[in-house]
Structure formats: C-alpha cells, structure tokens
Amino acid sequence: MAGDFTKKLDGRTEGKEARAWQIGKAHRKIDAADRMRGQLRYADDLKMPGMLHCKIVRSPHPHAKILGIDTDAVMQMDGVHGVVTGKDFPTPYGVIPWTPDENALAVDKALHVGDGVAAIAAISEDVANAAVRALKIDYELLPAYFDPEEALAGEQINPYSRKGNLSKKVELEFGEVEKELESAHLVVEDRYFFEGSTHGAIEPHCAVANVEPNGVLTVWSATQVSHYLHRELAKVLDMPANRIRVIQPPLGGAFGGKSEPFDLEFCVAKLALQTGRPVKCLYTREEVFYSHRGRHPMRMDYRTGFDKDGKIVSVDAKTLIDGGAYSSFGLVTTYYSGQLLCAPYDFGAYRFNSKRVTTNKPACGPKRGHGSVQPRFAIECQLDKGAVALGIDPIELRRRNFIGGETQTINEFKIGSNGFMECLDKVEASSNWKERYGKMAFGKGLGVAGSTYISGTNYCIYPNEMPQAAVQISLDRSGRARIFSGANDIGQGSSTMLAVIASEELGLELADIRVVAADSDLCPVDLGAYSSRITLMVGNACVEAAKKLRKVIVKHVAASWEVPEKQINLVGGMAVDMDDPERSISLAEAFVIAETEEGMLSAVGNYGTRSDRHGEYRGGTIGASPAYSFTAHVAEVEVDEETGVVEVTNVWVAHDCGRALSPMIVEGQMEGSVYMGFGEAIMEEHTINSEKNGVHNAPSLLDYRMPTFLDTPHIESLIVEAADAQGPYGAKEAGEGPLHPIIPAISNAIYDAIGIRLNKTPFSPPAVLAALAERKEREARGEIPPHKSTSAGGQN
C-alpha cells in the first residue's frame, strides 16, 4: 500500500520496512537517497581552486603518421598552461599485461579517427577548446583497414603488434568434433554476425588530478577498475605506486565501458604534474563513442550436430572478431568467445577457432557479458533451428541437453549449483508457453533461449598469489561499523551488498554501517567491478571479516554475562541472551564491552583464487570461474509484415543468482540486462563509415539509438536461487548473465512469428522485410510451405 513507509533523513526506516535490511528482504540501497537528492559529487562535480580544464586533440584520420605538432604556438595563447603529446608518454600500457600496445597519446601514428594525439590544459573549457582548434598537427595519411579480412592481408596497424594485424588466435578442441558431426542425425550450419554495440553509460568519462605539496598525485576518475588504473598510472608516469592515490567518486554507469585506463586519466595526471594545478578532463559524448571499448563485432560460422532425440553431439565454432585499433581485453575476449559456451548444455564434442583482428577503428573491449553474448546468440539460434527440424519443443530440447549441477563442462570448468531447469520451468509457465508457442497468429510469436555466465574470473589479470579481494571492518563504541573495501560501486550496489552482509553477521541496521570504497589510500586492494566478481569475491571476504568480529563481540558479551557463547545472538541491533530474551543490550553497549577488553575492534577478510576450478590445459584458466549463474528467457514479439518493425511486447527472464542477497537489486540487474540486450537486438549499432574515412556513424545519443521508456518491453523478473557452495550465503552473479539470452530469444520468437531466421543483429525493419521477401519467394516456388497458414487462424 502506498504511503505506509517513510525514510527519514537519518537513514532509518519506519513501518513495514523496519526490518527490511536483512538478507533476502526488499531493502533500499545505502546510497541511493543521496544520489536522488543531487548531493553526491560524481567526477565532473568535483571542483578545486585553480583547477584547469583539459581537452584532448583527436585524430581526424583513421590511420596517419604524425609528422609534427606545433605545441609552441598554442602555449603562447592566453590562458593555456600546458600541452602534452605522445612524446610525454613513451611507455606503452594495456589492461592485459601481455599486450601493452597503446600509449596515453599517439606517439608516431594515430590508429583510428578519435585517437588522442595531444592534450591541452587551460583556464577554462572555452580556452581549451580554442587551443584545440588552433593546434597544428602535420599528418601523413596511411592506408586504413576497416574490414578484418582486409586487415589480415594488409600492413601492420598497431606498432606494438607481434603478429601483424592478427591480434589473438585461440583454437581448442575437446572430443572428436568432425567424427561426431559426420555421424550426427542432423547438422545445423549457419553464419551469424553480431554487430558492435557500445555501453552508453549516461555519465561520460571524467577524471581530475591534483598534486599535493608532498608530491602525492591524486587521480579521481570515473573508473570501474581503480586498482588497474593505479598500476598503469605508476607504469606510464614512471612514479612509484605509493606516491599515487586513486579515488573513484560515485559513478554514473559503466557496463564495462570504464574498465581499463583511458587517455584522459594519464593526461590530467601529467598536466597536473607539469603545471602544479588541479586538472580536469570531461569527455564529450562524441569522445565517449570514439573511446568505445564496447562489444566486438563477431562473424560466427557454427555447425551443431544433433542425434535424433535432440542431444547435442558436436559443436564446431569459427569466429572472426573485429578488435579495432588496440588490444584492450582482446586476449580474454578471444578466449571467452569460445570458452564460455560449454554450459548449460552438455556438448558431446566441441571445438572453437577464434581470431581477433586489429582494424583502424575505435578499440573494442568488454561490454556487459564480455565476449560471450555474441556466441550465445549463435548457439541458441542453432538450437532453435535444430528443435524445429527435429520436431522437438525448443524448451524440451534444452532440457534434454541440460548439463546438470556439481559437474564439469567439456572444457573442464567446474560447475557448482545449477538452477537452469528451474529457470526453464519458470519462463515456460509464466509465458504460458505450452498453450501459445507455435500456435499464435501469423506475426506473433514466442522464442526461448538459455545461457550461463561467470561469477568472477577465477584468476587475476596479472599473475600473483595475493588475495583477489580483501575487506576490513571496524566497529566502535558508538555502535557503528565501518567497512573498507576497494570494490568499485558503479551503481550496481556493491557497497550495499557489503553493508547487507555485515548487517546479517553483526545484527546492525544498514543505517549504522558506513562503507568506504574504492579509495586506494584508505581501502584494501580490490581488482574492480568486472567479470561479475564482486558479490562472490568481495562478499566472501566481507563475510570472513564480519564473522571474526561477531565472534569477538559474542565472546566478551558472554563473558560479561557469565553465560556460554552459544547463548548469545546479535540480531535486530541488539545482543540477546537466547535463553533469557529479557536480557539484552544494544549493540553499541555490546561494542563498549568488547572494546574495553580488546582495544580497537577490527578484522579483515580475504578472498583468494581457488586453484581447483579450471581446466588443465593452456588457456584452461581463462573463463574459469568459482561459480556460474544460469538464465532462461522467453521473448514475445509482434512483427509487422508491412513495415518490418519488430515489437518485443513481453520478456520473461528467470535467473539463477544462487541466493538473492538483495532481491530488489537482483531484479534491477535482470531488468537492466534485458533492456540492454533488447537494445542490441533491435536498434543499437556501433559502426564506423568506411566510405567516409572511418568516422563514426552515430556518435550521439540521438543517432546511436538506445531504447527509451516507450521502446522497452514489459519485463517480468523471476529469481531462481540454487545456492552455490562457493558464494557468500550461496550467492552468484546477477549483473551480466541475464543479458545473454534476450537476443537469440527475440530472433527465435521472430521465427515463430513469421518464419524467418535473422542471423545478424540488429533485427532492423529492412532486414526483416528482406528475409520475409526471400521466404515468400521460396514459398511461391513451392520450396517451402507457408509458415503459418492464415486459414488455420491461430490464436493469441
């Protein structure tokens, strides 16, 4: 009932919500109200006395040698305080330590339109922009390659590449793929193309740097990987890491788009060091598009063999990946494009051959569902086609291939809990699948797809034996807990997750827990917000720290009351004698008792890499995770055969997140995932124009179409909880997995609706009309029967 709740400004809740802060309850986020009041300072909201504004000069050419830059003339301009170029950043870097192939600014040549060439710091944005326009740069144009196959045959683009324009190649085979395909009852063979797409976080990238009189450089950045940024700043600036402090202010969305260092962070740092003044750089929206690091375009040739019962006997995948100008996470992307496909279905045999190619385009990188959204599209479309050919219901075919829980994939990844069957059951029931699939009127249809995703990548990006995550918690006599964590809260709610865990263990209300996160001077090292790792890894570290403190409090309260420790419970803000509930004290009083005996109350927890979760072969650690989430989607579409417009009316998403620590936040992740994947399926295209010298086709939020309130389908989220022994309280990831199935589910629903297979994203009206026309021609020639006889009527 509306109105029976109120959040007071002291953060406490009244009425029905009073106890909602426990695990599994519908609690609020600890920091959302501040965001709503417009009071939290995001990176661009930071202001410092004497602050300079930095603008980056970007190449207008897709591939050009830099012959000279006339920095002197610009330095003479009123209000210009500093100019840096590639020569100021001779050390190459890369988020993956094996592929350092970019400089903060281009040194000898620019590799794509928008590549940073120089940076200028001035007293205002206006002066900086004027200086950008005035800066003279001499270029010698070089041949540019926009097509991966042409690039493979062309001259080397990236000067640091070791194998020409072949950025990475991975080939792995498990079982006898060809033999199984030869003896298969049915082989489905198709080519798929997944178009590039970008993250589109509403907050553009922004960084501010300041050098204190003691020489410590502080960089505030809208990053989701403070620690990797810290490492690369030290390397590129040739400064010891202990002289650098990295702070991530509240972040306005990321989705993988802020998960590696960007040119602006190095530029503001260098310019602050040079000028002695604070320096800020805020990307324009156009710069965000050119910086990109989004979803790789992939061309995928798939062959899937089935036996007569629909069992998958063999899968052969060949993938060409368009990487853009830099490696970014490309080594991992190339592995992920094959390694993450081997669940939730049991493959009899599996081979993948993935090649990532360097081209003269903005670099691709990790976007939500890194590397595995594209192959998931291919395989789930293959399964649908197989099911139709074999006359097996597509949900039933997926059930028959279920890999199960507590098992191992064909590529030797260890699966723990697996709630995929329950996911299928839920979407089948909620969508009324049995009564409606294949029976709706022409133009209307349902489609299903499933997927899996990692809950953290098992190994750190740079090899080391130290913890992947650590949390420190301290309590004090005021009855308050402070949690220190390096984890990047990017809006996904990781700080709330930590508070909820501490609340569960210590009995504290959320309002009495402060989370200090992602400040390298204050917090333990954490690797960052990527690969859906935080709930599992940082959550486990937090559980460990909180349990240690709970033990200390219980011990001293029990001693003070002269009762056994097992009799003491910390719950509801109180320490309670379970045998005598009349006897209780507030947690503040309990902390006083413990602090008196122990001194400062503090404990740490760590999470280290599990060494038994991966495959024993070269590359067998990449893509291995402590635990895997599972998802099933059913999408409902209406296709207008006159206009070719596909309207996605309903999506049912069931996601096995192990345990929903905060169900409202889990639902939000599921809904946001469906939304983002829906955009990729229907309208989003991150492409450059090869006819127009490699400029971006849509570098604005108007031209790059992202779904609005009106476009987005009705989404029904169905949480499935198959608790995993590896996760805190059984929890697995929820932020990336639920994106995967929506794209093939829509493609499969379009087939059910009008009988066409769309193997290329996005499913645009011209693509629909072309495929429909082709089908009608084949029908007219008598090659195939009409998809749904209109005389049969059909039903809704």
Element (H, E) at 440: none
Is 250 near another protein (CB under 8 A)?
Answer: yes
> What is the chain's alpha carbon radius of gyration, rounded to the nearest angstrom?
27
| Site stretch for another protein (CB under 8 A), options 198-206, 308-316, 343-351, 435-443 | 198-206
Is 28 near another protein (CB under 8 A)?
Answer: yes
Nearer to another protein, 239 or 664 (CB): 664
| Site stretch for another protein (CB under 8 A), options 226-234, 250-258, 338-346, 617-625 | 250-258
Nearer to another protein, 224 or 625 (CB): 224
Nearer to another protein, 518 or 768 (CB): 518
Least spacing, CB of residue 487 vs another protein, in Å: 15
Yes or no: say if 736 and 752 are a contact pair by the CB < 8 Å rule.
no
Is 19 near another protein (CB under 8 A)?
Answer: no
Task: Restricting to residues 264-323, name those near another protein by CB under 8 A.
Answer: 282, 284-285
Is 649 near another protein (CB under 8 A)?
Answer: no
Interatomic CA distance for residues 186 and 113, integer angstroms: 46
Q: Is 323 helix (H, G, I), strand (E, B) or coil?
A: strand
Least spacing, CB of residue 37 vs another protein, in Å: 5
- Residue choice 12, 25, 33, 598 for contact with another protein (CB under 8 A): 33
Closest among 734, 519, 500 to 30, alpha carbons compared? 500
Nearer to another protein, 2 or 600 (CB): 2
Yes or no: say if 112 and 299 are a contact pair by the CB < 8 Å rule.
no
- Residue choice 164, 253, 438, 765 for contact with another protein (CB under 8 A): 253
Nearer to another protein, 43 or 246 (CB): 43
Phi, psi for residue 94 in degrees, rounded to 5: -175, 145
- Residue choice 5, 160, 193, 561 for contact with another protein (CB under 8 A): 5
- Residue choice 12, 32, 480, 561 for contact with another protein (CB under 8 A): 32
The alpha carbon dihedral of 420, 421, 426, 428 has a sign of: positive
Task: Restricting to residues 34-53, name those near another protein by CB under 8 A.
Answer: 35-42, 44-45, 47
Q: Please report how the helices 742-754 and 373-390 are oriented relative to each other, as an axis angle in degrees rounded to 10.
A: 30
Interatomic CA distance for residues 639 and 651, integer angstroms: 15
Is 123 near another protein (CB under 8 A)?
Answer: no
Nearer to another protein, 191 or 714 (CB): 714
- Residue choice 252, 294, 539, 615 for contact with another protein (CB under 8 A): 252
Is 492 near another protein (CB under 8 A)?
Answer: yes
Nearer to another protein, 285 or 776 (CB): 285
Nearer to another protein, 101 or 489 (CB): 489
- Residue choice 150, 173, 178, 671 for contact with another protein (CB under 8 A): 671
Interatomic CA distance for residues 333 and 310, integer angstroms: 30
Least spacing, CB of residue 703 vs another protein, in Å: 9
Interatomic CA distance for residues 395 and 449, integer angstroms: 8
Is 688 near another protein (CB under 8 A)?
Answer: no
Phi, psi for residue 352 in degrees, rounded to 5: -135, 145
For the CA atoms of 521, 523, 526, 531, what is the dihedral angle to 10 degrees? Answer: -110
Is 17 near another protein (CB under 8 A)?
Answer: yes
Nearer to another protein, 125 or 307 (CB): 125
| Site stretch for another protein (CB under 8 A), options 3-11, 407-415, 508-516, 621-629 | 3-11
Token pair recorded at residue 62: 């897709």
Is 634 near another protein (CB under 8 A)?
Answer: no
- Residue choice 700, 789, 790, 795 for contact with another protein (CB under 8 A): 700
Is 2 near another protein (CB under 8 A)?
Answer: yes
Closest among 334, 304, 329 to 398, alpha carbons compared? 304
Is 698 near another protein (CB under 8 A)?
Answer: no
Interatomic CA distance for residues 617 and 294, integer angstroms: 29
Phi, psi for residue 323 in degrees, rounded to 5: -90, -20
Nearer to another protein, 3 or 215 (CB): 3
Sheet of 646-656: strand order equals 444-454, 628-639, 646-656, 714-720
| Site stretch for another protein (CB under 8 A), options 29-37, 74-82, 186-194, 312-320 | 29-37
Interatomic CA distance for residues 685 and 697, integer angstroms: 9
644 C-beta neighbours (distance < 10 Å), count: 19
Is 8 near another protein (CB under 8 A)?
Answer: yes
| Site stretch for another protein (CB under 8 A), options 2-10, 80-88, 443-451, 634-642 | 2-10
DSSP 682-709: HT----EEGGGTTEES--STTTS----T
| Site stretch for another protein (CB under 8 A), options 31-39, 438-446, 461-469, 755-763 | 31-39
Strand-strand pairing, 52-58 and 116-122? antiparallel
Interatomic CA distance for residues 607 and 599, integer angstroms: 26
Q: Is 316 helix (H, G, I), strand (E, B) or coil?
A: strand
| Site stretch for another protein (CB under 8 A), options 172-180, 498-506, 583-591, 671-679 | 671-679
Strands (E), 406-524: 407-408, 414-415, 444-454, 469-476, 480-485, 513-517
| Site stretch for another protein (CB under 8 A), options 184-192, 446-454, 528-536, 705-713 | 705-713
Token pair recorded at residue 460: 């750190």
Element (H, E) at 302: strand 298-306
Least spacing, CB of residue 700 vs another protein, in Å: 6
Task: Tell me the CA distances in angstroms from 335 to 174, 228, 462, 466, one per residue in order.
Answer: 14, 21, 16, 24
Is 712 near another protein (CB under 8 A)?
Answer: yes
Those residues with Cβ within 8 angstroms of residue 354's Cβ, 6 or more apart along the chain or in another chain: 168, 169, 170, 171, 317, 318, 319, 321, 334, 335, 337, 338
Least spacing, CB of residue 707 vs another protein, in Å: 8
Nearer to another protein, 400 or 705 (CB): 705
Least spacing, CB of residue 43 vs another protein, in Å: 11
Least spacing, CB of residue 493 vs another protein, in Å: 7
Task: Restricting to residues 200-239, name those near another protein by CB under 8 A.
Answer: 200-204
Is 702 near another protein (CB under 8 A)?
Answer: yes
- Residue choice 102, 667, 684, 752 for contact with another protein (CB under 8 A): 667
Interatomic CA distance for residues 28 and 32, integer angstroms: 8
Interatomic CA distance for residues 572 and 578, integer angstroms: 13
- Residue choice 80, 137, 490, 749 for contact with another protein (CB under 8 A): 490
| Site stretch for another protein (CB under 8 A), options 130-138, 385-393, 516-524, 712-720 | 712-720
Those residues with Cβ within 8 angstroms of residue 731's Cβ, 6 or more apart along the chain or in another chain: 535, 536, 539, 657, 658, 659, 660, 661, 723, 724
Is 676 near another protein (CB under 8 A)?
Answer: yes
Interface residues with another protein (CB under 8 A) are: 2-3, 5-9, 17, 28-29, 32-33, 35-42, 44-45, 47, 126, 199-204, 250-255, 282, 284-285, 490-493, 662, 664-665, 667-668, 671-676, 700-702, 706, 708-710, 712, 715, 717
